[in-house]
Chains A and B, each alone.
Chain A
Amino acid sequence: MYAIITISIVAIIVLFLGAIQKKTPLLPIIFVGLPVAFIINLLGWNQSIHYYNEMYIADNFSIAFNAVLIFTTLLVFIFAPVYYKPVKRPLEDIYALILFALIGALTMTGFGNILMLFVGIETMSLSLYILAGSKKFDPNSNEAAMKYFLTGSFASGFLLFGIALIYGACGSMNLETIKEFVVAHHNNIPAMLNIGLLLVAIGMTFKIGAAPFHFWAPDVYEGSPTLITTFMATVGKVAAIAAFFRLMSSSFSDMESSWVVTLTIFAIATILIGNLSAFYQDNVKRMFAYSGIAHAGYMLIAIIALKQQAAGVLLLYSISYTIATITAFAVLILVREETGTFSINAFKGLAKHNPTEAFAMTIAMLSLAGIPPLVGFAAKYNLFIAAIEQGHLPLVIVAIVGSMISVYYYIRPVVAMYFNLPSATSAIDSSSNYKKQIFLAAFLMIVLGLIPGVIINLI
């Protein structure tokens, strides 16, 4: 709650400084403001405070996810000077919009009332629509913004209609009251509530980019500026999945029979479509879009296996996915700066010129593929165990097959980096900021892979 206020203040200060054409203090203010928000957020640990008539609940779940989201945003901002080096204007609008999107994301993890969920989703989505089109003179960026906006507002329509039906059935939008209603009407759940939940699930599935509502993701991820894609693929996805999990676990866990089958089908379709489509991509950025879809499918498993400590597993999975994706995108930004292309061939011989970057990319790819001892393996392992204990064996088999497919396309850039002859490009000059972040991410991926239990038992 106070983290949200802190970030709002930082965003407004950034906007003001931009308005008076100050360029230099923008990023330092963000680099001070976000860690402060991070600490303020953690101060509420174990207190579980309900704010403003249960509109916002700062329990351990929301605090842990908020910490992940704020930290991820901080990492994204570390790349901003590298990515926006050629741009001379202050860029206050882009920074402020990223912060506004973060505020929306923080609202989504801790909502106690479906109204807050909707406001949070809209704040995040609206900022992301604009950010997707922030490269104004690039037709791809315009296309991405337009596609994202049209499909996204359609999904918001579904979500809102679903919320209206749930409100009509339960007479309240408070998560607790809805849960009481569900428990009281356990034997005869009204059809209206079922359909409302289905429509809300459609809206949320769209926001996390899972099949069958994933069609926007590849084009939007490919067309948006790479830094924004990084933000979208990490913060946007984690916030949406956390919100979905919170909704299901705090209100609808007692009417599982009406949504588990649907979500299982969604998850199976997502894992298969994501992995099989990524298989054929030569454009690494597009490949990451499909890999993001596949990972959304894995994260849906956590919602399906709700009862087995799944919150902690989902947190671990989110952390592993976020760190690996950010590292991979960081290297991708560098390679793209140098070679001007996102093609897989651009990675040829990277290991020879830039061993650090190549190593970080390798770690990230192996972690995403789920190879021990990295954190990606620990996350997937615990997720599958939780699902098996709940009796979702077919789903887990599909997920494992999907993981095996994914190894192929995650290894391709690694092979290109280490075993192919270097193309004509010279060494990539990486600025100092950048290396520290890469080391930090690689370190986190290895260490968290060794102690996954700490994270899982956290919430």
Chain B
Amino acid sequence: MLSLYVFFFLSAVTLVSAVMVLLSKKPIHSVLYLTLTFFTLAGHYIMLNAQFLAVVHIIVYAGAIMVLFLFTVMLLNLNIEGEFQKSTVMKFVAAIAGGMIFLVLIGTLKSFDVTTVGDPSMTQIGLVKNLGKTLYSQYLMPFELSSILFLSAMVGAVMLGKKDKN
């Protein structure tokens, strides 16, 4: 019962802070609300018994990426109030497009019935030991291939950052 209340609390905070990311006028407030969203999402992961994912989520997103965001906002002095200029037509079109996909997703979730997905609190897959075993046996190939993905990202970062003419 308690977990249900925690779930509703976390969901409410997640939704409100996610909306506030878009609504706040100052970029720095958006960034801080985003951090809050990440923390509450990590709370959801813990409730799904995915502790490793929760910790990694906090370290990577709230730790590394948010610091990067904050630095960029501060160093480039982006903390100016106001919003980007958007024409009325643009806003109208965006509202229709976003609203349509929102409706479609609501319709999808309404028809959702839990037949195939197991109870998350029963499986122990989110624990570090089990996750590591799965990652290195069943999901070995995507795991190794993502090393190529990261290597290409690193090569690209070095290439774009290097100082040379041509």
Contact = CB atoms under 8 A, between A and B. Distances in A.
Interface of A: 8, 12, 15, 51-53, 55-56, 86-89, 93-94, 96-97, 100-101, 103-104, 107, 113, 115-116, 119-120, 122-123, 126-127, 129-130, 133-134, 136-137, 165, 168-171, 190-192, 194-195
Contact of B111 (A55, A115, A129, A191): A191
B104 A123 contact: no
B87 interface: no
A52 B166 contact: no
A133 to B, nearest CB: 7
Given A126-B153, A130-B152, A190-B111, A116 B159 contact: no
B85 interface: no
Given A122-B149, A137-B165, A192-B111, A100 B142 contact: no
Interface size class of B (residues with CB under 8 A): 20 to 34
B6 interface: no
B148 A8 contact: yes
22 contacts: A51-B141, A55-B141, A89-B166, A93-B159, A96-B152, A97-B156, A100-B155, A119-B142, A120-B145, A126-B153, A126-B156, A127-B152, A127-B156, A130-B153, A130-B160, A136-B160, A168-B112, A171-B117, A191-B110, A192-B108, A192-B111, A195-B105
A442 to B, nearest CB: 32
B113 A130 contact: no
B146 interface: yes
* Main SS class of interface, A: helix
Nearest to B117: A171
B158 interface: yes
B159 A55 contact: no
A122 B149 CA distance: 7
B145 A107 contact: yes
Contacts of A51: 141
A126 B149 contact: yes
A113 B142 CA distance: 9
Given A12-B151, A93-B155, A136-B160, 13 more contacts: A51-B141, A55-B140, A55-B141, A97-B156, A119-B149, A130-B152, A130-B156, A130-B160, A134-B159, A190-B113, A191-B110, A195-B105, A195-B107
A261 to B, nearest CB: 16
A52 B140 contact: yes
A165 B165 contact: no
A10 to B, nearest CB: 12
Contacts of B105: 195
Interface of B: 104-105, 107-113, 116-117, 137-142, 145-146, 148-149, 151-153, 155-156, 158-160, 164-166
A52 B145 CA distance: 12
B112 A97 contact: no
B160 A191 contact: no
A126 B155 CA distance: 11
Given A94-B159, A130-B160, A169 B149 contact: no
Contact of B116 (A89, A101, A169): A169
A437 B114 CA distance: 57
A116 B152 contact: no
Given A87-B166, A165-B108, A96 B155 contact: yes
Contacts of A103: 145, 148
A15 B155 CA distance: 9
Given A115-B139, A168-B112, A169-B116, A100 B152 contact: yes
B153 A116 contact: no
B151 A100 contact: yes
Nearest to B143: A119
Contact of A123 (B110, B117, B139, B149): B149
Nearest to A165: B108
A226 to B, nearest CB: 15
Contacts of B160: 130, 133, 136
Given A8-B148, A103-B148, A165-B108, A55 B155 contact: no
A104 B153 CA distance: 13
Contacts of B159: 93-94, 97, 130, 134
Nearest to B113: A190
Nearest to A1: B141
A7 to B, nearest CB: 10
A53 B112 CA distance: 28
A233 to B, nearest CB: 20
Nearest to B158: A93
A88 B166 contact: yes
